[in-house]
Structure 1
Amino acid sequence: MSLQAPEDRPLLEVDRLNTVFHTRAGTIRPVRNVSFTVARGEVLGVVGESGSGKSVTGLSILGLIDKPGEIESGAIRLNGRDLVGLPEAEMRRIRGAKIAMIFQNPMMTLNPLERIGYQIAEALSEHESLSRRELRERCVAALQAVGIPSPEERLDAYPHQFSGGMRQRIVIAAALVTGPDLIIADEPTTALDVTIQAQIIHQMRQLIDQIGAGMIWISHDLATLSELADRIVVMYAGTVVETGATAEIIGAPRHPYTRKLLDSVPSRNTPGAALAQIQGIMPSLLTIGEGCPFASRCDRRVDGCARPIPATKLSATRTVWCINMPEEETA
């Protein structure tokens, strides 16, 4: 069955996704009723604190939730085809070829005992029948695309012979070499210094524009997403609390949690002053109720926050889940 969809349909549709983990202590719900779309050529930023459900959402899309976890309900449609419930053999054909993942730590992704050319070619040969010469040419082109100098020579090098930034570029090259429709990047620049981060972010934006793929960039850093993403989804305790165009989210956040995330960015604090913090801790995903998950840490909570929060659509691109949001104010 073809995965090609009509041009007017989103590349990816995540619809009311619920992912759970069954433990002895009870059922943990790290992803609750999450919905969003990604278009071709679009970068969607997914932001939130650790434990907010960002990475589990990404792994759910790839079908990499193992027991005791499972996708309890919802749909994940790639080019109109629902991936939830597909046999593992079918998902293996989709992973890498149609959906690629870039992980945070390249040394956990790359095999230190194998040359990088072999590792990139392995991903490619899994999905395409190519001669050795064609494989090498595609690998060289992939390294060249991510800015690796002398790519023909570097194909025969081992991971330890590269810097951290170069290793991350190699992981990106391995993800792009098969020409996927969707790329999921899970905080791929977190361990790098800010100069290398900026270079890779700029290069990824250029590559996405060139190849027309969609991308989900998972991050805890709104400053990074402001330079890269077209739209942003803000997650907290497994659920979406605000979504909108990047300029809307960064320029005028409406959910109290989004505003506090922005206020905690170091560059927004007065030099010499204590960094702004979000007081309190995230609620337990074992006992979380149906109301606003941020209520226990929010200085704008009211009695209605304990009940299910309806979506408030502020514009064609902007939705907020809050019943007592602050007035619009330029951040």
Structure 2
Amino acid sequence: MTVYEKAMATTKPTVSKIGADRIVPRSIRALAIAYYDSASFKALKPITQGVYRNIIDRFCREIDHAGRACGDKSAVTLKPNHVEKLMEARAAKPDSANGLRKVLRAMMQVAVKLDWREDDPTLSVRKIKPKKRGGFHRWTDAEVRQFEAVHPIGSKARLALTLGLYTGQARQDVVRMGEQHINDEVLDWIRMKTEDRTGLKLAIPVHPELRRIIDATPSKHLTFLVTELGAPFTAAGFGNWFRDRCDEAGLKHCAFHGLRKAAATRLIDAGCDVVEAAAITGHASLKELQRYIETRDRRKAAMRAIDKLISGTKVANPITRLAKQEKTR
């Protein structure tokens, strides 16, 4: 599985050796190639390498107002105000802006080591703080039913939805899951974290509904989910594919990551505490999990709280006890 995962995550550089002679010396694109060959890039997990490549390659293909590709611009003359303008152009999508800043910083560190420049122009540039921390939309029960009505049992889309809801894992984890990871109806899993190289070991009991959907979905592969060509999904490719399945169901505002929020919320609504819920979702930080469940149905939580209060009153019956004590006195 280790070899298999590396093979599915590894991608080739955008620039081939055939076109190497057309690369502008000490340009952003030339620096990108040097960065891909650096020890710092090779030390990253394969999935992180793929994410960084996508960000860098998209940036290199961007065309500025003068009609010039950003990849052809000089990496030597890049200044803090240039980076700030790039960030401002992505202000509507803070994660995208901060992601570009992060990879540019890694690239500039390589440029300094190569003596292309003496400073890192990203150091004085701050992150863009999102205005709202709501993040991805959490799927409601009605939206889940709407998706299920369009994608029946036995379809790959239905299996993807169910894996998201009953494992609480992100897309980079779900695309790697297969029957071989299940022992005695427990999914033994090491969560794929972008920044955490050690991973987090989980033991997720297989919900009966998840087992029913898995058994009803034909598969002859090591992973539950594969492309139309029978190849394993990349995390980004799966995200785009699932985006199309949501659109087919009329759920343009929903995304796969929203299922992770829905899974966490369902666990809390079922009466689990945050520690129990984190044992399924794999959140290392309870603060992060708390952010996930902020959008839960507070009406349900309030009703459950009152039910517990009523139940506790019946058991303790403090009013009756106090009345008896007054008569005795």
TM-score normalised by the chain length of structure 1: 0.21
Over alpha carbons, which structure has the higher Rg?
2
Higher percent of residues as strand? 1
- Which one has more relative contact order, counting CA pairs under 8 Å at least 6 apart? 1
TM-score normalised by the chain length of structure 2: 0.21
